[in-house]
Structure 1
Amino acid sequence: MPAMRIDAPLLEGRFQRRYKRFFVDVELDDGSVVTAHCPNTGSLKGCLVEGAQAWLRDSQSETRKLRHTFQAIKIGRSWVNVDTGLPNKVVRAAVEAGQIPELTGYASVRPEVKYGTGSRIDLLLEDDDRPPCYVEIKNTTLAEGRTARFPDAVTSRGLKHLGELTEVVRQGMRAVQFFFISRADVDCFRPADDIDPAYCAGLRAAAAAGVEVLAYSSQVRRDRLAVAEPLEVLLD
């Protein structure tokens, strides 16, 4: 699978804490503590384990308020990508390379196209011989056992996106809710009803209306992030 290269140097340390949503403290091997930017506004439920190994991306910038960015954390034996800015790029590269069978055969792949009510679709796939395909990508970090779950917190925005995808289908076009599972230690995907029952009901309603639901695991490496394997989606 095509991979998103991570060229910035990575530092390794031990996760200490997250605070004010956008800040994390990581203790490096030399005992110093670095405060880094957390590029994920979700709860990161189950991922913020004190003492877990963590990677920080070093921007090498002397002007940034926080020079380092929280990249990944090791939960059990699996690294989990926490940077929400990467999955869209990774999925786009995989689609353009024809590596996601469900999304092949389109001549054009465009990111961040306006649609719905004040929204932008993550990927719009277009071809002269078929209706356009709207792909909404959700970064997923939560797992329980071998099951990936979404969301990890209440998401009214996510519910709004499901409604807009459903409207796309009603207009005769194709819509896909794509869950990018930012870890490799999972075998299937299931919505997290205990966390956000409204979103999960909306996901099932959207699927019943014709919105396709896909989930893929990923390879999280020190120097790259890539789409890995399709997962069974369990909506019942």
Structure 2
Amino acid sequence: MTYPNVYLAHFIDRPNRFIAKCRLRESGEMVTVHVKNTGRCKELFYPEVEVALSYQPSPKRKTDYDLIAVKKKDAWFNIDSQVPNALAAQALVDGTIVLPDLKGKIVTVKREKKFAQSQFDILVETDTGHQAFVEVKGMTLENNKLGAFPDAPTLRGLKHVTELIEAIKEGYQSYVLFVIQFENVEAATIHTNMQPALAAMISSGQKQGLSVIAYNCRVTPDTIAIEHPVPFDVTKMFEDPNSER
């Protein structure tokens, strides 16, 4: 995915989870921007950190810019919470993402399919008549090359995993796909200290046939693309870089 009209800026502060104040690097102008991620992202948003803004003015918008990426040390982290689903759907179609042990070859990829009380991100249908649900989760939290989810407790995520397990009992295959929105990562896990119930449910689900996979991404200020699979291990303990902030 390529974003239009991208400008570099410096982050100033974040009055609430929806907006931030930034200073454009080229002109020095102060602008109010929409943050495309309602998560905490505290380990990314430091005063004066370099950020990427996509300029998309519209009479229907309250802000002219979207904050889409943050530079952490020497690497860019995409924080757009809407992009993982689109990336995953396309990567499943073109074969960049492979679902392990899928029964058959993918013939259709459908978005936003309802099951029980959940609406899963993707329903895959295969040439053997099998169906699989894929729930996509973006991952932006990192420490020492270990990626983790979530960066804030998510009851919605817990419900999705619970109902993915129920779908297995009704004959579907079920997958949790973590799209890691940065490149330099060696493994992915669940932030157990943040949400132990989610880690427990993931672990239980894996024993019942739930497949949990992760892929990292190449990220620049104005692009993001799926890169390659990354090992997922729910037992790896994550040290939260925000614990003292």
Q: Which residue of 2 aligns with 1:87?
A: 84
Q: Which residue of 2 aligns with 1:157?
A: 156
Q: Distance in 2 between matches of 1:113 and 1:172?
A: 16
- Alpha-carbon RMSD: 1.4
- Displacement of 1:130: 4.0
TM-score, structure 1 length as denominator?
Answer: 0.93
Matched, 1:61 2:46: no
Q: Aligned letter for 2:22? A: V
SS in structure 2 at match of 1:233: coil
Q: Which residue of 2 aligns with 1:22?
A: 18
- Displacement of 1:114: 1.4
- Identify which of 66, 71, 75 aligns with 1:74: 71
Q: Aligned letter for 2:63? A: L
Q: Which residue of 1 aligns with 2:229?
A: 230
Q: Which residue of 2 aligns with 1:212?
A: 211
Are 1:215 and 1:233, in contact at CA under 8 Å, matched by a contact in 2?
A: yes
Deviations 1:57-111 (A, max 9, x none): 1103244211111110000111111111111111111111111122682100000
Deviations 1:182-211 (A, max 9, x none): 001111001111111111111111112111
Q: Aligned letter for 1:61? A: S
Q: Aligned letter for 1:190? A: T
Are 1:109 and 1:125, in contact at CA under 8 Å, matched by a contact in 2?
A: yes
Matched, 1:99 2:96: yes
Q: Distance in 2 between matches of 1:122 and 1:144?
A: 27
Are 1:44 and 1:141, in contact at CA under 8 Å, matched by a contact in 2?
A: yes
TM-score, structure 2 length as denominator?
Answer: 0.90
Matched, 1:39 2:27: no
- Percentage of matched positions with identical amino acids: 30
Q: Distance in 1 between matches of 2:56 and 2:96?
A: 30
Are 1:142 and 1:148, in contact at CA under 8 Å, matched by a contact in 2?
A: yes
- Displacement of 1:144: 0.9
Q: Aligned letter for 2:133? A: Y
SS in structure 2 at match of 1:19: coil
Q: Aligned letter for 1:22? A: F
- Displacement of 1:223: 3.3
Aligned length: 231
Q: Distance in 2 between matches of 1:166 and 1:130?
A: 20
Q: Which residue of 2 aligns with 1:109?
A: 109
- Displacement of 1:128: 4.1
Q: Distance in 2 between matches of 1:146 and 1:172?
A: 36
Q: Distance in 2 between matches of 1:160 and 1:48?
A: 29
Q: Aligned letter for 1:10? A: V
Q: Which residue of 2 aligns with 1:176?
A: 175
For structure 1, the 5+ residue unaligned runs are none
Are 1:45 and 1:142, in contact at CA under 8 Å, matched by a contact in 2?
A: no
Deviations 1:107-150 (A, max 9, x none): 00000111121x21111001240420100000110001110001
- Displacement of 1:229: 1.4
Q: Which residue of 1 aligns with 2:146?
A: 147
